[in-house]
Structure 1
Amino acid sequence: MTNEHDDELAASKTAGFKVGEKKTLEEYQQLDANDESLNRWKASLGLGTGNTISDPNDPRKCIIKSLSLEVEGRDDITIDLSAPGSVDKLKEQPFTIKEGAHFRIKATFIVQHEVLSGLKYVQVVKRKGVRVSKDEEMLGSFPPSTTDKPVYEKKFQPEEAPSGMFARGHYNAQSRFVDDDDVTHLKFDWSFDIAKDW
Structure 2
Amino acid sequence: MSAEEHHDDADLQPTFAEGYKPGEKKTLDAYRELDKEDESLARWKASLGIANNMPTEASGPKVTVLSLTLTSPTLDTPIIMSLADHTDFKTNPVTIKEGVDYSVTITFKVNHGLITGLRFMQVVKRGPLTVDKMDAMIGSYTATETPYTKQLASEQAPKGVVARSGTYHARSRVVDDDKEVFADFRWIFTIGKDW
Common fold: TM-score over 0.5: yes
Question: Which residue does 2:157 correspond to in 1?
Answer: 161
Give the secondary structure class of the aligned counterpart of 2:81.
strand
Query: Structure 1 or 2: larger helix share?
Result: 2
The answer to whether residue 125 in structure 2 is matched with residue 126 in structure 1 is yes
Question: Which residue does 2:66 correspond to in 1?
Answer: 65
Question: Which residue does 2:179 correspond to in 1?
Answer: 182
Aligned partner of 1:151 among 137, 142, 147: 147
Q: Which moved more, 1:25-34 or 1:1-10?
A: 1-10
Q: CA deviation at 1:51?
A: 4.7
Task: Give aligned-pair identity as a percent.
Answer: 42
Listed as ranges, the matches of 1:17-166 within 5 Å are 17-48=20-51, 51=54, 56=58, 59-73=60-74, 74-81=76-83, 83=84, 86-145=85-144, 147=145, 150-166=146-162
Q: CA deviation at 1:115?
A: 1.4
TM-score, scaled relative to structure 2: 0.89
Matched residue type, 2:117: G
Distance 1:195 1:93 in 2: 14
Distance 1:32 1:103 in 2: 42
Q: Which moved more, 1:187-196 or 1:112-121?
A: 112-121
Q: Gaps (5+ residues) in structure 1?
A: none
Distance 1:13 1:185 in 2: 19
Q: What RMSD in Å do the two structures reach over aligned CA positions?
A: 2.1
Contact map agreement 1:91 1:189 (CA 8 A) in 2: yes
Aligned residues: 190
Large movers: runs of 4+ above 3 Å: 49-54
Distance 2:88 2:181 in 1: 20
Give the secondary structure class of the aligned counterpart of 2:163.
coil
Matched residue type, 2:13: A
Matched residue type, 1:72: P
Matched residue type, 1:177: V
Contact map agreement 2:55 2:113 (CA 8 A) in 1: no
Q: CA deviation at 1:101?
A: 1.3
Distance 1:143 1:129 in 2: 39
Q: CA deviation at 1:50?
A: 6.6
Distance 1:53 1:67 in 2: 29
Q: Which moved more, 1:68-77 or 1:152-161?
A: 68-77
Decide whether aligned partners of structure 1 residues 92 and 49 sit closer, same or farther in structure 2, where only a CA change above 3 A counts: farther
Matched residue type, 1:158: S
Decide whether aligned partners of structure 1 residues 65 and 49 sit closer, same or farther in structure 2, where only a CA change above 3 A counts: farther
Distance 1:159 1:100 in 2: 10
